[in-house]
Structure 1
Amino acid sequence: MPSISVKGREMPASPIRKLTPYADKAKQEGKHIYHLNIGQPDIETPQIMLDAIKNIDFKVWAYTPSEGTVSYRTKLSSYYNKLGYGISPTDILVTNGGSEAITIAMQACIGPGEEIIIPEPFYANYNGFAHSAGIEIKPILSYIENGFALPPISAFEALITEKTRAIAICNPNNPTGYLYSRKELEALRDLCLKYDLFLLSDEAYREFCYDGNEFLSPMHLPGLEQHVVVLDTVSKRYSACGARLGCMITKNEELWRTALKYAQARLSPPAVAQLAAEAAVDTPQSYFDAVKEEYTARRNTLVAGLNEIPGVYCPNPGGAFYVVAQLPVDDADDFCQWMLEHFAYENQTVMMAPASGFYSTPDAGKNEVRIAYVLNINDLKNALVCLERGLAAYPGRV
């Protein structure tokens, strides 16, 4: 039998989805599962977006330009310019989801064997994207004790070598929900300018900032025009994860042209999703206000409930719709699997994402989980009861 490639064998599994077979089996056994493992919101997609799909009248479902349609990029640039990005449609490359924006940006900015520095925990699929491109991630630990704030700039500087090409951040952060401050971003800007590095800014959760905190992008910082690369998606903003539509934004013309070659190699982004997303730019602010109010209430319910469980600690995040919680267990991977395989309270259980998969440092996050507050408050309360009961019964509790 032919052997699988070494690269394929070493490709990391997703911590978000790797427990799916256990969840499927639990469902077959009749258990109700509260899915807190994945960032799939239950918020309704804006009607204006759905109507655009219903009203499609083309006769041929054709390719679109590799960089995305002019009409969508023009409309999309107006969205960003209302936020003060100061871009043109020619600065945008439309992609198949935010995932492709990240992979194209990594490959265009960083060569095989070269390095990118990323504060961890970070979005788990960065590991897979980097592995596919032959790029080495140089992780730098942030800590739950201070809410996963940006590590000291001196720690970043200590990791920089002749192979370092970029720094990447996710703001607000997935999986921690941490929202970076102006001071932190300005320190990163100065470091990138000092060492002539790209700064990749994953902004999938831009709309979800709480407690009166405002979002700041590296795109807002003067001096970074040739260094910053924004990575974005419609998945979270419009609760349209299945649209698989994202974009990469850069004012660096050489980088954009390089990225376009990767986009041409995969032909084009999806036509129907672009039509829907173009319409979605006109989504009224009232939609986002209501969504933010709902997520704030969910966050408050979840964080308070977690911190009331004996032995559990969870910092209060400033954005996104995730928390990372520290549990009184010896191994969160085992605990999350055990909750699906061996536990039920009133025929219910909880599915979470073990946090170890959001780290690149070995053994980091072994007693942490990422929880997505994408369910309604009543379901969150029921999930918290299941979690507390499960922790009390778990043989590996510490």
Structure 2
Amino acid sequence: MPNISEKGIQMPASPIRKLTPYADKAKQEGKKVYHLNIGQPDIATPEGMLNAIKNIDFDVWAYTASEGTLFYRSKLAEYYNKLGYDITPEDILVTLGGSEAITIAMQTCVSEGDEIIIPEPFYANYNGFACMSNVVVKPILSHIENGFALPPIAEFEKLITEKTKAIIICNPNNPTGYLYAKEELEALKALCLKYDLFLFSDEAYREFCYDGKTFISPMHLDGLDENVVVLDTVSKRYSACGARLGCIITKNKEVIKSGLKFAQARLSPGMVEQIAGAAAVDTPDSYFEAVNKEYTLRRNTLVKRLNAIEGVFCPNPGGAFYVVARLPIDDADKFCQWILESFDYDGRTVMMAPATGFYSTEGSGKNEVRMAYVLNIGDLNGAMDCLDMALKQYPGRIMA
């Protein structure tokens, strides 16, 4: 039998999805599974976006331009310019979801064997995208005790070598929900200019900032135009994960020119998705205000319930819709499998993502899990009831 590739062997499994067979089996056994493992919102997709799809009228479902249609890119520029990005449609490359935006950015800006610094824990698929692109991830540890704040810039400098080409941040952060302050971004700006690095800014959760806090993008910082590459998606903003529609935004013309060649190789983004995406730009502010209010309530509920469980610690995130919590357990991977495979509370159980998959440093996150508060308040409370009881029964519980 032929052997698979070395890259296929090295490609990491998703911590978000790898326990799916155990969840499926639990459901087959009649258990209700609360899905806190994946950022699939239950919020309704904007009506205008859905109506645009329902009212489509064309005779040929054709290819579009590799960079995306001019109409959609113009609508996107309209959206970003309301946020102060000061861009044109020519500064945008439409991609097949945020995932392709990240892979094209890596392949465009970072050569094989070169390095990218990423504060960890980080979005688990960065490891997979780096593997696909033959890029080396250099993690820099942030800590749950201070809410996963950006590590000191001096720690970044210790990692910089002649092979370092970029820094990636996700703001607000997945998986921690940490929202970077302007002072932290200014410090990163100075570092990128000093060492001539790209700054990749994953902004999938831009709309989800709480407690009156303001989102700041590197695009808002003067003097960084050639260094910043924004990675974005409609998935979370419009609760449209299945659309698989994202984009790269940069004022660096060479990045757009080179990135377009990768986009041409996969032909084009979908026509229907771009029609829906263009309509989504006209979504009224009231939609986001209602969503923000709902997620704030969910965050407050989840964090309060978690910290009320003996031995659990969970910082209060400033954005996104995730928390990372430290549990009194020996091994998060074992616990997350055990709670699906061997536990139920009145026929209910919980699916979570072990935090180990969000770290690149060996041994990190062993007693941490990521939870997405994308369920209604009733289900969140039900999930916390299950977790509380599970921790009391888990054989690998660590006693204080």
For 1:49 and 1:61, locate their aligned partners in 2 and report how far apart those are by CA, in whole Å. 18
Shift of 1:106: 0.6
Question: Are 1:188 and 2:183 matched, yes or no?
Answer: no
The equivalent residue for 2:371 is 371
Paired letter, 1:209:
C
SS of residue in 1 equivalent to 2:248: strand
Q: Which residue of 1 aligns with 2:292?
A: 292
Partner of 2:385: 385
Aligned to 1:200: 200
Q: Which residue does the alignment assign to 2:210? A: 210
Q: 1:165 Cα shift? A: 0.3
TM-score (norm 2): 0.99
How far did 1:307 drift? 0.1
* Distance of 2:270 and 2:319 partners within structure 1: 29
Tell me how far 1:175 sits from its aligned partner: 0.1
In structure 2, the partner of 1:73 is 73
**Aligned letter for 1:138?**
K
What corresponds to 1:361 in structure 2? 361
Q: Partner residue of 1:244?
A: 244
Q: Which residue of 1 is the match for residue 328 of structure 2?
A: 328
How far off its partner does 1:4 sit? 1.0
2:133 maps to 1:129: no
- In structure 2, give the amino acid aligned to 1:159: L
1:314 counterpart = 2:317: no
Residue type at the aligned position of 2:260: L
- SS, match of residue 283 in structure 1: coil
User: What secondary structure is seen at the aligned counterpart in 2 of 1:165?
Assistant: strand
In structure 1, the partner of 2:349 is: 349
In the aligned structure 1, how far is the partner of 2:255 from the partner of 2:94?
A: 14
Give the C-alpha shift of residue 205 in structure 1.
0.1
* 1:270 CA drift (Å): 1.0
- Give SS of 1:93's match: strand
- Residue 221 of structure 1 is matched in structure 2 by 221
User: For 2:273, what is the secondary structure of its paired residue?
Assistant: helix
Structure 1 segment 167-178 matched on structure 2, within 5 A? 167-178=167-178
* Secondary structure of 2:183 counterpart: helix
Identity %: 75
Instruction: Please state how far the C-alpha of 1:298 moved relative to its aligned partner.
Output: 0.1
The alpha carbon displacement at 1:155 in A equals 0.3
AA partner of residue 226 (structure 2): Q
Instruction: Give the drift of 1:280.
Output: 0.6
1: CA distance between counterparts of 2:81 and 2:271?
Answer: 24
Structure 2 distance, partners of 1:12, 1:356, is 12
| AA partner of residue 378 (structure 2) | N
C-alpha separation in 2, matches of 1:264 and 1:102: 16
CA distance in 2, matches of 1:161, 1:305: 44
2:143 corresponding residue in structure 1: 143
In 1, Cα distance between the equivalents of 2:155 and 2:218?
20
* Aligned pairs, number: 398
Q: Does 1:304 align with 2:277?
A: no
Paired position in structure 2 for 1:6: 6
Instruction: Please give the secondary structure, in 1, of the residue aligned with 2:27.
Output: helix
Q: How many angstroms apart in 1 are the aligned matches of 2:274 and 2:155?
A: 41
Query: AA paired with 2:249?
Result: I
1:95-119 CA-to-partner distances (Å, cap 9, x unmatched) read 0000000000011010110000000
How far apart, CA to CA, are the structure 2 residues paired with 1:137 and 1:5?
A: 20
| Counterpart AA for 2:281 | V
Indicate the RMSD between aligned Cα atoms, in angstroms: 0.3
Q: Which position in structure 2 is the counterpart of 1:25?
A: 25
Hey, what's the Cα distance between the residues in 1 that align with 2:354 and 2:203?
A: 23
TM-score, length basis structure 1: 1.00
Aligned partners of 1:258, 1:9: CA distance in 2, in Å? Answer: 29
Tell me what 1:258 maps to.
258
Consecutive aligned runs of 4 or more in structure 1 exceeding 3 Å deviation: none
1: CA distance, partners of 2:75 / 2:173 = 26
Tell me which amino acid in the other structure corresponds to 2:179.
L
CA-CA distance at 1:6 after TM superposition? 1.1
Instruction: For 2:374 and 2:270, locate their aligned partners in 1 and report how far apart those are by CA, in whole Å.
Output: 26
Q: Secondary structure at the match of 1:199?
A: strand
Q: Deviations over 1:111-162 (max 9, x none)?
A: 1100000000000000000001100000000000000000000000110000
Deviations, residues 42-94 of structure 1 (Å, cap 9, x unaligned): 00000000000000000000000000000000011000000000000000000
**Corresponding position of 2:232:** 232
CA distance in 1 between partners of 2:247 and 2:384 (Å) = 36
* 1:203-252 per-position Cα deviation (integer Å, ceiling 9, x unaligned): 00000000000000000000100000000000000000000000000100
Runs (5+) with no aligned partner, structure 1:
none
Name the residue aligned to 1:395: 395
